[in-house]
Structure 1
């Protein structure tokens, strides 16, 4: 991923938090030179001193059969993004697009059944734990779980390389930066409003 110095993010803890908050990612592999992609709920977990991307896909999805032949797989995560009009700048310039994106590379491995159960338990706790009547691993019948497990394949990807770019008008002056936040907040697109919130938080953090 192209990451100009203004927009490059190197703080792994910041990247880790971003992935946790934007964990519906895209897994990319290749088959005979042709890219294949699947959109999946994923987790970034720590096991000992290593970090892993974990997830699962349908057994009928042929992508998992490409893991063995792929030396590298790519996992992409994206945050809010929005069009930035150059009419919001003090001086003449061209429009652009702001975004947050993280790319993670590694070699995919299949999970054992026990590892898959553990990963599914963690995934359900993350997304169900705060609900009034949470659907957790231990609340589901063993017959249903056994049936569903036969239909999925779990995988893990040791994190070998991370690329992160947050293009959020860091190269603009302070006046332009705050004008962009205000104008994004006025847009009807929910992504624009979310991006404005992120930019406002980043601005506060830098003070």
Structure 2
């Protein structure tokens, strides 16, 4: 987490929307020798204003074994991001390169969840984004095959004790300098998404 309070984001609705736009989370746990991590898609929602995150892992994943032993988890999401050249600030001396980005961190104790319900929900959520393709459902699978695959996964739910993010968008620069960065980013293939976020900041 970036130490500067200027970049901190704590609005739950903003953070949930960010996860929904960039749902591939990095699940981090403490291992016996070194940190352990695993990538997985996460379903995010707000219930009575409180965040609820659901995910699944392979039953054979080392992260799963740590969660089953009662380890806490940190889930990290990275949204749009891009390198920022000092040249884009205009006539501002003594600047250095940096990186602008959006992120979310959710920390807490995952608890076991219903894997069948999660798989139905995750497929329904992401298949809806593929319309007009007819949605895939597990009804297309042989029930015995589905049950066999189900034994190989573990589903979890996390109600975070800490839920915050970073919106590093040049808030520590002048409006003119941010305009220069937006112009520079807009001319690069990978900078359009973060340039759009900076435009929102400019108003």
TM-score, structure 1 normalization: 0.88
Tell me the residue number matched to 1:31.
Answer: 31
Residue 103 of structure 2 corresponds to residue 101 of structure 1: yes
Residue 72 of structure 1 and its aligned partner are, at CA, apart by 2.3
> What is the root-mean-square deviation of aligned Cα atoms in Å?
1.9
- 1:177-207 Cα distance to aligned partner (Å, 9 max, x none): 111111101113x2x1221122223333xxx
CA–CA distance in structure 2, aligned partners of residues 167 and 70 of structure 1? 33
Unaligned runs of 5+ in 1: none
CA–CA distance in structure 2, aligned partners of residues 145 and 32 of structure 1? 33
Task: Provide closer, same or farther for how the CA distance between residues 49 and 179 of structure 1 changes in structure 2, counting only shifts above 3 A.
Answer: closer
Task: Provide closer, same or farther for how the CA distance between residues 6 and 116 of structure 1 changes in structure 2, counting only shifts above 3 A.
Answer: same
- 1:146-191 Cα distance to aligned partner (Å, 9 max, x none): 1221221111122111121110111111111111111101113x2x
Unaligned runs of 5+ in 2: none
Specify the SS of the correspondent of 2:154.
strand
Matches within 5 A, 1:46-65: 46-47=46-47, 50-65=50-65
Residue 42 of structure 1 and its aligned partner are, at CA, apart by 0.9
Matches within 5 A, 1:130-145: 130=129, 131=131, 132-145=133-146
Residue 68 of structure 1 and its aligned partner are, at CA, apart by 4.1
How many aligned positions are there? 199
Residue 6 of structure 1 and its aligned partner are, at CA, apart by 1.7
Residue 24 of structure 1 and its aligned partner are, at CA, apart by 0.2
Matches within 5 A, 1:1-207: 1-47=1-47, 50-89=50-89, 90-92=91-93, 93-111=95-113, 115-130=114-129, 131=131, 132-188=133-189, 190=190, 192-204=191-203
CA contact (8 A) 2:16 2:51 kept: no
Specify the SS of the correspondent of 1:31.
coil
Task: Provide closer, same or farther for how the CA distance between residues 46 and 145 of structure 1 changes in structure 2, counting only shifts above 3 A.
Answer: farther
Specify the SS of the correspondent of 1:32.
coil
CA contact (8 A) 2:16 2:45 kept: no
CA–CA distance in structure 2, aligned partners of residues 133 and 106 of structure 1? 37
Residue 52 of structure 1 and its aligned partner are, at CA, apart by 2.4
Residue 107 of structure 1 and its aligned partner are, at CA, apart by 0.6
